Amino acid sequence: MSKVIMLIPVTPRVGITTVSLGLATALEQRSIATAFFKPITEGGVNADRATGIASDSGFTTVPPLDRSAVEHWIGSDAYDELLEAVISNLTAHAGAARVVVLEGLTAGAELPYANRLNIDIGSALGADIVFVGTPGASGAEAFVDVVDVGSHYYRDNKGTNIAGCVVNRLRRAKTETAGARFLAEDSLTLDVAELHAAFEGAETPLLGVIPLYEELEAARVMDLARHLGATVDNEEAAQRRRIRAIKFCSSSLGSTTFEAGDVIIVPGDRED
């Protein structure tokens, strides 16, 4: 069976799908055939969103098990059957992939059994476990404590290997320099150095740090055009330009100032 790398979110809103697909892309760029697997749908409108994005990106994907079927197995105390279904599903659809990037479930009120499922699925597949998180206001040392506590549950289960932790969405300090949005890269290096210091002596090694690029989280002009069903004159520019602000204008411009990235909404009867 393919080697499985399982990414486990340890903090909320960490961008686990972004990191999972980023890892899959990095492996593919090194000519390592890779498949993507989200083992269970998480419900809601975007129940299968992660698998859909992976498929649209050209990856081999393993279809997730339906959440209602999983909850039926759990409610019937048929946990072994559930794990067998996960393994069979992966084996049947992974194809010739040498590595399977498995996106772990996010624990919360809607998935109270997520932690147990992550542990048992990881153990059943003999996965290498990579924790993914974002340090909060409590600081780097508190974040390391969260990671180490979470890792204990996996260390107690045979079959899994704790590979380490990836920090995602590390916020960089804003700059007051006009025209620049962020400080130079050395300010990011200081943050990374602080994280490295906090991880020294920790049970779980730090594998990497991914900074937060706020502009990449902004919608593109093309996204807005598709939502509105608008006609685009310059599709190439619309694909890369991102919306930073929305400004509403009256019938007179007056002293209104505009910046690159502004979406300007004006009345349809303007003379200019």
Per-residue pLDDT tens over the stretch 135-167: 887 889 999 999 999 898 888 776 679 999 999
pLDDT at 74 over 50: yes
Joined together, the tokens standing for residue 95 give: 């194809």
Q: Is there a contact between 37 and 94 (Cβ–Cβ < 8 Å)?
A: yes
Q: What whole-number percentage of the chain has pLDDT above 90?
A: 56
Question: Residue 35 pLDDT > 50, yes or no?
Answer: yes
Helix (H) / strand (E) containing 1: none
How confident is the model over 99-120, as pLDDT tens digits?
999 999 998 878 899 999 999 9
| Euclidean distance between CA atoms 206 and 164, whole angstroms | 6
Distance, CA of 204 to CA of 176 (rounded, Å): 36
**Residue 254 confidence (pLDDT):** 63
Confidence label for 43 from pLDDT (cuts 50, 70 and 90): low
**pTM for the structure as a whole:** 0.80
More confident residue, 98 or 186: 98
Contact 34, 4 (CB under 8 A): no
| Interstrand relation of 34-37 and 128-133 (parallel, antiparallel or unpaired) | unpaired
DSSP SS3 for 134: coil
Token pair 């799908």 is found at 17
pLDDT for position 171: 75
**CB of 173 closer than 8 Å to CB of 187:** yes
Q: Tell me: the pLDDT tens digits for 237-265? A: 998 899 988 888 876 666 678 888 888 88
- Within 127-172, residue ranges assigned H as helices are 140-155
Residues 114, 48, 157: CA angle, nearest 5 degrees: 25
> Is the pLDDT reported for residue 225 higher than 60?
yes
